[in-house]
Amino acid sequence: MITLGIDIGGSATKGALVDTVSGRMVSDRIRFETEAPVKPREVAALVEKIRKKLGYHGPIGAGYPGVVKNGVALTAANLHKNWIGTDVGALIYNQTGQITTVLNDADAAGLAEMRFGVEEARRHKTVLFLTIGTGIGSALFVNGHLLPNTELGHLKIRGKDAEHRASDAVRQRDNLSWKRWGKAFTELLQTYEFLFNPDLIILGGGISSKYDSFAEYLKVDTKILPAKLENTAGIIGAGMAAQESSELRDQESSAS
Ligand code: BGC
């Protein structure tokens, strides 16, 4: 099945058609940069632009960078505060006319990575997936099952949000060397390790393609692997979520 996967971000909204069987993008990735802090209506208009450009009709999946419950955004760390309380699924549906499933962006990326990315992830009991970009997102899997909406980027470490210590945005803003950033990020990893004792940590987001530059500076006992799908995971995972919801709707309607 082909669906439209959307990745809403602090600095850009991206989308592509996703083949949910192979886990691949089957169109160009369309990306629109936005000025921070982006508002809900601006993003909905961009999703419609992406949909039209791709000539797509069908279920949409969207990864949102905050806590999402039943399609409603409950937080908005790197976006406009107007998002809080917004039914993001309804917002996008009203703009596009297509049924839309919304989930946390790191959860979406983690789901894609577990299914189509790092192969050995499926052999571990507890896997912590982290995405490092404007913020730090997390997805925690136990026996392949996701615990949704973990917000480990906002865990306070020595009084400060983890993502304010070692996101990729902080690295770029402060012009940190890989060594210095690696040291700051190690503090986060050691805290997560202490609290959750995962068997594997996967690092995703744009930074995962530069893994070789900083791997030597990460000092933890847990095995770490870079994500395979890099920054396409969010779109692919959102596309997968759209397909799963569409299957559920079909099952419900054939049962009634
Ligand atoms: C948000 C998370 C999100 C992460 C990555 C954080 O600021 O709170 O929900 O997954 O950024 O976008």
Atom 5 of ligand 1 has which residue's CA nearest to it? 137
ω into residue 37 within 30 of 0, thus cis? yes
**β-bridge partners, 248:** none
Count of residues for the chain? 256
Q: In this structure, what token pair is assigned to residue 27?
A: 């169109």
Mutate to test the pocket of ligand 1, among 68, 75, 78, 138 (most ligand atoms within 8 A of CB): 78
Q: Using a 6 Å CB cutoff, which residues line ligand 1?
A: 65-66, 75, 77-78, 104-106, 131, 135, 137, 151, 153-154, 163
Cα–Cα distance for residue pair 91/80, rounded to 1 Å: 15
> Is 148 strand, coil or helix?
coil
Domain with CATH 3.30.420.40 in the chain: 2-107+232-255, 119-228
- CATH of region 119-228: 3.30.420.40
Q: Would you place residue 206 in the very low, low, confident or very high pLDDT band (cuts 50, 70, 90)?
A: confident
pLDDT in tens, 74-102: 999 999 999 999 999 999 999 999 999 99
Q: Containing H/E element for 96?
A: helix 88-96
Atom 4 of ligand 1 has which residue's CA nearest to it? 137
Which fold is adopted by the domain 2-107+232-255?
Nucleotidyltransferase; domain 5 (3.30.420)
Whole-structure pTM value: 0.97
Residue-level pLDDT at 229: 95
Mutate to test the pocket of ligand 1, among 131, 149, 167, 207 (most ligand atoms within 8 A of CB): 131
Atom 1 of ligand 1 has which residue's CA nearest to it? 66
Cα–Cα distance for residue pair 40/166, rounded to 1 Å: 27
Higher pLDDT among residues 255 and 58, named by residue: 58
Residues 101, 109: contact at Cβ < 8 Å?
no
